[in-house]
Chain A
Amino acid sequence: MDRIINDFTINIATANGTGSQSANLILLQSLFEMGVPVSGKNLFPSNISGLPTWYIVRLSDRGYQAPGDRTHIQVLVNPATWEEDLAALEPGSVVIWNSDTKKKTVDRDDIISYPVPMSSLARKINPKIAKLVTNIIYVGVLAELLDIDQDCLESAVAKQFKGKDTAIELNITALGLGRDYCKEHLAKEDPYGAEKRTVEKPQFFIEGNEAAALGAHYGGAQLLAWYPITPSSSLAENIINYIPRLRTDEEGNATCAVIQAEDELAAAGMVLGAGWAGGRGMTATSGPGISLMQEFIGLAYFAEIPSVFWDVTRVGPSTGLPTRTQQSDIAMLYEGSHGDTQHIVLMPGTVEECFEFGWRAFDYTERFQTPVFGMSDLDLGMNRWACDGFTYPDIPMDRGKVVREKDVFEAFETFGRYLDVDGDGIPYRTLPGSGMAPILYRGTGHNPMGVYSEKPEDYFNLMARLKMKIENARDQLPAPILREEEECEVGIIFLGSMENSIQEIDDILEDTGMKVSQCRVRALPLHSEVEEFIRRHEVVIVLEINRDGQLYGILRRELPNELVTKVHSVAYSDGMPPRARIYAERILATLEEVKQ
């Protein structure tokens, strides 16, 4: 039997709230410490305790991070999904199962079966917490079967339970019990194994939400106003957690305020209040929250109030699937609120970019005096991704056109809050408390002096200036990441967390003989390089994790007519993180249609 090293997928079926998450993270971290390119996906229910949860660990020397097409090793702990999980396995798969599970067995003879009395082993350690320990037992079994390095395993345990010595000791004992049982009672029949790899550049694992939170701090966030919602809560909570370390003086007083609002409307209102007062305010939410914030988003656009909104997207519409991932808020963010609007949207695809856009969002919102959105998603935000480390901002904070000194103010021949002095669509502002050029900000029509107006020319000119202002932002925003083939045959435009599946998709497509270029867009409005990319390529696919092809819709409207026919949509979403083969097959089918 040929061994299969670092190229397989493990699926662990447990119940929510049983402590399986920490066991699974230990497995993931220990493989990571061995230098194995590995990724983990948590598929969890909208529930505190009891409902089925799956954790997918994929080892891939090619660096593929999407969940694979199939499960190679199934861990069965949850009786609720037992039969379903078992039936889904392809012949030859491996099952590690809790043989103490009442009325459950593994009765397929076309698979490799490893029964382990996980509950009785766990009870040996401590009957009171047997359920928790059961999870760590299967990690011990996997460690033995796959030959996971003991030092790496112990280091992962230490990281997971930082400083909690009793927990560390207990988990290491449990891992040992799992290993020993495996050694004594199971004969290895499967081909799978993990092997150490030399890592050229040291990396660490971190969630996108934590990265974005750190980015916000390095952007000098002064107010976080938020309302809890999955999957963005951990972004807000990470901001809160880092305040003592990063944002307090010797007396323990902070330079970043946090207010848990009564709802998302109030959170948005507070962010606008902060921006109006001259500060850096932000919120973190998800699609349902953005839906509620629409009115304030329009006010921020029209009254030109700096404000940062992070949308960690989930599956909509409505409450949708709160714990599943999707890129379906693109259109809503780009054109949020009623009336003609257009907004800046930053779309990170990596944890490094979550950090970078975390601080840049404030610079953009103050430079352009308009709301700025960060759009992450559940997959990027709540799963752990390998990170090269965060880079300190290379430019000072851009506070935009704020007149703070009297002599600067007096140098203006005429000062009007909405007067386009520089011809770039961006006016100057003074702040409340300064005593300079006070105006009553409003969401109603106003003239360049900031005075109420319903005059046709005032309204028309204002809307034209706002459009120009955002239009000018295009090439000042993060440019797309291009990975181009000389042949310029097929181009794929994609965004966000699809970054983690694109190389695998690309490889599947190239296996059929075509040459594929990649263009990952990172901001709206789209950079002019995107149009150039389309111009250079014979046929272009816009790949998104949604039903309607929202980015495609934006491109269709904004591209010159002669390019529109080149561009085709492949949009698909079932709530799962993108599996490469599904998207690759849809791209192939679309290309086939295009040819005809």
Chain B
Amino acid sequence: MSDKPARAIKLNVLNEPKDSYTGGPSSLCPGCGHDQISSVIINAAWENGIEPHRIAKMSGIGCSSKTPAYYLGQSHGFNTVHGRMPSVTTGAYAINKDLLYLGVSGDGDSASIGIGQLIHAIRRNMDMVYVLENNGVYGLTKGQYSATADVGSKKKKGAVNETQPIDLCALAINLGCTFVARSFSGSKKQLTSLIKAAMSHKGFALIDVISPCVTFNNNDESMRSYGYVKENEITLHMADYIPHFNPVEEIEVPEGHFRDITLHDGSTIRLETISEEHDPADAMAALTALHEAETTKKHVTGLLYFDPTKPSLAEDLGLVEQPLIDVPDEVLRPSKASLDALNAEFLA
């Protein structure tokens, strides 16, 4: 017997260790914001007590889209094609609506080549978590500006960007997206709460995460460098996530004002007011906050907009209760009698 005392292993509500939620080693640049997000995803899924095999990891193409290999090794995943992850996810969802679809995308993937698919997935209120790892540059092709690069920002090499960026949060709010948040890969606590809340949401949850590219866009003149974001982040509120399986009484009640928002699975996201109170039900307030941040060259983070009332794609499809994947072949194929009847009617 060893003399060492037994090491305490933390288990989640399913009695699973965190190891059940990890993935392979990352091949991204050391210090990449995306790796921080991967670790947040691992924590969020573990702490939320989601069975790993019930998660589907979806991605497109780019640095961000490689990350599903680095988390949730016990989940099936699909690293699809550039900008088209939403459609593949939609098709998979139609067949198996019981999985938790966790999409990861980048700003090249989502703001340029795949902006159409992103828009239409939002429009359908496709039931998924969409984590956008947003660094303003294309990494794998070595540092070209993306469509989210801020005006006046300058990457490591090349000229200052003068082209108007696409703010995907503003776009999503205008499209009626039912869960819109912005965060920063360096704000681990806020990001964890937001990702957990997104997992509890039924409908399209967009989390636009500023995730600095350490190789091509982390210089002082860049508005998406670690240094710049830390200095210029406007946090709308502190965010705490209270899972439905945890009695609320155990959670420390913060001082000052807070707003509790109940999510579809009964969990709560608690938004603690910092200065002015932000009402996530108010789309105009969210758009104003985004606009003000842009004009003052800041980044606003938090749960910008939330609408639990809209039906998600599942309701629109009008399908049977059980996921289609579980419908037996004998039910999928109509009976011989039905074909005999059709033939007879055609002949009549």
A residues within 8 Å of B by Cβ? 202-204, 206, 214, 217-220, 222-223, 225, 245-247, 249, 252-255, 257-259, 261-263, 265-281, 295-296, 299, 359, 387, 389-390, 392-393, 396-397, 399, 430-435, 438-444, 452
Contact = CB atoms under 8 A, between A and B. Distances in A.
Interface stretch (B237-245, B273-281, B326-334): B326-334
B79 A432 contact: no
Most chain-A CB neighbours within 10 Å: which of B79, B116, B320, B324?
Answer: B324
B339 A438 contact: no
A438 B54 contact: no
Contacts of B120: 261-262, 266
A295 B113 CA distance: 13
B54 A452 contact: no
B346 to A, nearest CB: 4
A432 B99 contact: yes
A270 B94 contact: yes
Given A214-B342, A262-B120, A432 B69 contact: no
A277 B84 contact: no
A159 to B, nearest CB: 9
B343 interface: yes
A486 B319 CA distance: 56
10 contacts: A222-B95, A255-B331, A259-B124, A269-B80, A271-B91, A273-B88, A281-B95, A299-B80, A397-B332, A442-B78
Given A204-B347, A438-B73, A277 B336 contact: no
Contacts of B324: 222-223, 255, 257, 279
Contacts of A396: 329
B91 A249 contact: no
B74 A435 contact: yes
B117 A433 contact: no
A278 B325 contact: yes
Nearest to A442: B79
Contacts of B56: 277, 432-433
Given A295-B84, A392-B339, A392-B340, 14 more contacts: A204-B346, A218-B334, A220-B333, A223-B324, A252-B318, A269-B88, A270-B87, A277-B56, A387-B346, A390-B342, A393-B333, A397-B329, A433-B99, A440-B57
Contacts of B94: 222-223, 225, 257, 259, 270, 273-274, 279, 281
A222 B332 CA distance: 8
Contacts of A253: 318-321
B332 A255 contact: yes
Contact of B117 (A218, A219, A266, A274): A266
B95 A389 contact: no
B339 A218 contact: yes
Contacts of A263: 116
B346 A441 contact: no
Interface string B53-97: 110110000000000110001111111110010111111111110
Contacts of A218: 333-334, 339
Given A254-B318, A262-B116, A443 B79 contact: yes
A267 to B, nearest CB: 8
A257 B319 contact: yes
A225 B120 CA distance: 13
A499 B156 CA distance: 64
A277 B81 CA distance: 17
B346 A389 contact: yes
* Chain B interface size, under 10 / 10 to 19 / 20 to 34 / 35 or more: 35 or more
A433 B93 contact: no
B329 A220 contact: yes
B338 interface: yes
Given A270-B94, A295-B81, A438 B89 contact: no
Contacts of A433: 53-54, 56, 76, 96, 98-99, 325
Contacts of B77: 438-441
B80 A277 contact: no
B161 to A, nearest CB: 28
The 3 A-B pairs with the shortest beta carbon distances in the complex, nearest first, are A273-B91, A269-B87, A220-B332
Interface in B111-126: 116-117, 119-120, 124
A206 B338 CA distance: 17
B93 A279 contact: no
A275 B96 CA distance: 11
B347 to A, nearest CB: 5
Contact of A270 (B91, B319, B332, B343): B91
Contact of A434 (B53, B116, B327): B53
A350 to B, nearest CB: 15
B159 interface: no
B76 A438 contact: yes
Contact of B320 (A219, A249, A258, A274): A249
Contact of A277 (B91, B339, B343): B91
Given A431-B76, A441-B77, A265 B84 contact: yes
Nearest to B56: A432
A432 to B, nearest CB: 4
A588 B79 CA distance: 54
Contact of A247 (B91, B124, B334): B334
Contacts of A246: 334, 338
B74 A259 contact: no
Nearest to A273: B91
Nearest to A206: B346
B317 interface: yes
Contact of A269 (B52, B90, B119, B329): B90
B329 A278 contact: no
A277 B88 CA distance: 10
Contact of B91 (A255, A272, A435): A272
Contact of A257 (B84, B86, B317): B317
B254 to A, nearest CB: 38
B343 A390 contact: yes
Contacts of B325: 277-279, 431, 433
A191 B81 CA distance: 64
B346 A269 contact: no
A502 B324 CA distance: 43
Given A255-B327, A296-B81, A432-B56, A217 B334 contact: yes
B84 A266 contact: yes
Contact of B333 (A278, A295, A397): A397
Most chain-A CB neighbours within 10 Å: which of B68, B84, B117, B333?
Answer: B333
A276 B91 CA distance: 9
Most chain-A CB neighbours within 10 Å: which of B56, B84, B336?
Answer: B84
Nearest to A437: B76
Contact of A273 (B69, B90, B116, B333): B90
Contacts of A441: 76-79
Most chain-B CB neighbours within 10 Å: which of A203, A204, A269, A393?
Answer: A269
Contacts of A442: 78-79
A430 B53 CA distance: 12
Contacts of B333: 218-220, 359, 393, 397
A257 B92 CA distance: 11
A432 B84 contact: no
B306 to A, nearest CB: 25
Contact of A444 (B79, B116, B332, B340): B79
Most chain-B CB neighbours within 10 Å: which of A265, A272, A276?
Answer: A276
A452 B69 contact: yes
A289 to B, nearest CB: 14
Nearest to B76: A432
Contacts of B321: 253
Contacts of B73: 438
Nearest to A204: B346
Contacts of A267: 87
A320 to B, nearest CB: 24
Contacts of A220: 329, 332-333
A60 to B, nearest CB: 22
Contacts of A254: 317-320
B78 A276 contact: yes
Contacts of B117: 262, 265-266, 269
A151 B321 CA distance: 48
Given A299-B81, A442-B79, A432 B74 contact: no
